[in-house]
Amino acid sequence: MRNFCVAAVLAMTTAIPAQADITAAQVWGDWKTYMEGFGYQVQAREAQAGNVLTVSDVTMSSQMPDDGGAVSVAMDSMTLTEQSDGTVAITLPASMPIAAAIKGEDGKPMDLSLDYTQTGMKMVASGAPGNITYVYSADELALVARKIVLGGAALDLRTARMALTGLAGETRRTTGTTTTSTGQTLTAATVGWDLDMTNPEDQTPVKVAGTMTGAAFNNTAVLPIGVDFQDLAAMMASGFAMDGALTHQGGSSDISFVTDGSASGMKTSSTGGDLTFRMDKAAMAYQGNTTGAKYEILGGPVQLPVIVDIAKAGFNLLVPVEKSDTPSDFALGLTLADVVVSDIVWAMLDPTGQLPRDPATLALDLTGKARITADFSDPAQIVPDAAPGEIHALTLRDLTLRLAGADLTGAGDFTFDNTDLTTVPGMPRPDGALDLKLVGGNALLDRLIAMGLVPEDQAMGMRMMMGVFGKMDGADTLTSKIEFTPDGQIVANGQRIK
């Protein structure tokens, strides 16, 4: 299914004036080669009349691996017109039908009937064979679902549409002897989506609508020539690489459905966001941020709105994937900054107002070194139930948890000896230290006791544990330094506990 999107991307490519002339036949040949490289079979009738090449009855079809289904894209006709400046103008039909027959993991078939539509699209291609640039603009590009059949039963689908308006972009494609390199930039005034259907499980209405403004996307890719693009392992081994970024200036969504006979829903909004990604044979990396996020949830037996505001939410992930004799970098991060919940939530959790209602924050920033020992490109070499790699170093750059008047922070740095799996059974021996600081912990515990959430005897046990692993540094400040020594000892604030 995923590859039918390639057709949509291809249909949105055109060109700028260049130094060399290019013919309509060469541009059409480039398109065919590109689609065939993704595993599509391309069939069409071609007719050249002067400087105009008309391509009609176009079909592009592809079979999914492991009998997973098929995808086909059709065009009645398209024209490629050679212009006096050496460029080629491309005119596409207003609508292109897309059909996909997919077999799910449960073996049940899913049939999709879609239309890819365009309004006011202008396209020009320039360059030379093997080095072509496409530039395009459009008032609107849309993907509309006409019919969805699951397990032989058609969904009651009233609306299913995604559209980009005010579109402008450029795609550059360079073909070498073993790889094809592409680069793309794209901007859209708005990105919108609209779904109105009946839930097939209980026959209740489901509606989803949303929009995003000021969207911008860019990416580059290196695509191996002559490799099955549905075989990810083979692609990676042959030099496949991709990176990109998406940004937007704000958006909103509105979801409504029925739960246990009651109307439910959620509204979301944000003031902006971004997402970046990178993938190659060595590593995968993702990073995303959202600012000014707001969530309003309505549903359940109470039927009262729950509102959550988050000033900034973000994540980052870096994972090595290539088998290696030397450790590589990895990273994991999460941020939820200045989280505020509505008074209704506080009234349910803390009706007597015992807890401070300051904004909450959670931040985690981990980096380290790990060595991948499994060859993911060859499933036969992966040993079931065996760890696919070794951790060699771990750094806690930041730990912050600020909630209900208490503030916990921490940082630490460790190395691991993978030749010693007995000192700490089941894991490589650590060597390093973790520093923690808790401000306001005793005050929070007193409030929880007053609220009846923590019994006195349990609170006493907690205070004793805090005394073992930490030391008081001020009226309500607890610090702790946990050390793992090379000889296998665990030391808390200078006192050996193992």
| Average pLDDT rounded to a whole number, residues 99-128 | 90
Query: Taking Cα atoms as reference points, which of 407, 340, 333, 339 lies closest to residue 363?
Result: 333
**For the chain, domain boundaries:** 1-165
| Average pLDDT rounded to a whole number, residues 126-148 | 95
pLDDT digits (tens, 9 = 90+) for 278-315: 999 899 999 999 999 999 998 766 677 889 999 999 99
pLDDT digits (tens, 9 = 90+) for 211-265: 999 999 999 999 888 777 667 777 777 888 999 999 999 999 999 998 877 889 9
Residue with tokens 């065919």: 32
Residue 424 has what pLDDT? Answer: 84
Greater confidence (1 vs 379) lies with 379
Distance CA 97, CA 146 (A): 10
Q: Is pLDDT above 60 for 131?
A: yes
Residue 132 has what pLDDT? Answer: 95
pLDDT digits (tens, 9 = 90+) for 317-362: 999 988 899 999 999 999 999 999 998 888 888 888 899 999 999 9
DSSP characters for 379-444? Answer: GGGPPTTS-SEEEEEEEEEEEEEEETTEEEEEEEEEEEETT--TTTTTSPEEEEEEEEEEESHHHH
Q: What is the pTM of this model?
A: 0.85
pLDDT-based confidence at residue 11 (cuts at 50, 70, 90): very low
User: What does the buried/exposed string (b/e) look like for 195-221 if buried means 16 or more CB atoms within 10 Å of the residue's CB?
Assistant: bbbeeeeeeeeeebbbbbbbbebbbeb
pLDDT-based confidence at residue 16 (cuts at 50, 70, 90): very low
Distance CA 111, CA 79 (A): 30
Distance CA 275, CA 291 (A): 12
Strand 495-496 and strand 429-439: the pairing is unpaired
At a CB cut-off of 8 Å and minimum separation 6, what does 144 contact?
114, 115, 117, 160, 161
Residue 379 has what pLDDT? Answer: 65
User: Length of the chain, please?
Assistant: 498
Distance CA 72, CA 3 (A): 10
CA atoms within 13 A on the CB side of 393: 12
Distance CA 19, CA 146 (A): 43
Query: Taking Cα atoms as reference points, which of 314, 304, 315 lies closest to residue 341?
Result: 304
Query: Taking Cα atoms as reference points, which of 8, 365, 303 lies closest to residue 169?
Result: 8
* Phi, psi angle pair for 25, to nearest 5°: -65, -35
